[in-house]
Amino acid sequence: EADIYQTPRYLVIGTGKKITLECSQTMGHDKMYWYQQDPGMELHLIHYSYGVNSTEKGDLSSESTVSRIRTEHFPLTLESARPSHTSQYLCASSEPGRTGELFFGEGSRLTVL
Amino acid sequence: AQSVTQPDIHITVSEGASLELRCNYSYGATPYLFWYVQSPGQGLQLLLKYFSGDTLVQGIKGFEAEFKRSQSSFNLRKPSVHWSDAAEYFCAVGAMYTGNQFYFGTGTSLTVIP
């Protein structure tokens, strides 16, 4: 069973608020990812990290930012939320090596009013 | 460009019937292929994966998938569906040179009727 946790699971906030989605894993994985998931769409990679102090933008442009100060922690921040940010955000990590599978958290569903 | 196509948006099957979910990919190198399942309100869980070797791979929960290079396909099958299999299924492709980035299909939603 995967040990990757996301909080909050559900969040409803007003426009302009700053939010941080937390993601933690206890597997010691160096690689971590944030995906955005919308109904009927493929998962889009928005950020990834290869380890501490490493962050990269993914395929989908996002106004969010991430940090990786500790191996186990990979938070995502929106400085000023807008309704267009309403989505499900999935955090994942992968095993070492080139064929590592992804382990997913349960997701954070964000609604911006 | 890398892409994954799942042509069936939604499939309904009767409990006990067989199941096949289709997945086609476009990739510039030898792909690593995955099937994930997502239950409502949950994250994605790996069902099975193919890297090399035997083109028929077995996964959890009685699922299997067959890699067909000539057809660029990696279809998921199960001989007898259970009501608990109702979920969203995602096919994904990845490879080392993409930095372990993975490309997902749009998913197939499975409904199981009694």
Residues A70 and A65: their CA atoms lie apart, in Å, by: 16
pLDDT in single tens digits along all 113 residues of chain A: 559 999 999 999 999 999 999 999 999 999 999 999 998 888 899 999 999 999 999 877 788 999 999 999 999 999 999 999 999 999 999 877 656 688 999 999 999 99
Q: Do B44 and A90 touch (CB under 8 A)?
A: yes
| Omega cis (within 30) before A8 | yes
Tokens linked to B76 = 């998921």
Q: Do B44 and A104 touch (CB under 8 A)?
A: yes
Q: Which residue of A has its CA nearest to B6?
A: A42
> What's the pLDDT score for residue B97?
56
In single-letter form, the type of residue at position B53 comes to G
Pick from A25, A33, A75: which is nearest to A50 by CA? A33
Q: Which tens digit of pLDDT belongs to each residue from B25-36? A: 998 777 889 999
> What's the pLDDT score for residue B52?
84
Pick from A48, A27, A109: which is nearest to B38 by CA? A109
- Give residues with Cβ within 8 angstroms of A74, minimum separation 6: A23, A24, A25, A32, A34, A49, A66, A67, A68, A91, A93
Residues B22 and B77: their CA atoms lie apart, in Å, by: 9
> What's the pLDDT score for residue B29?
74
Q: What is the mean pLDDT of chain B?
A: 91
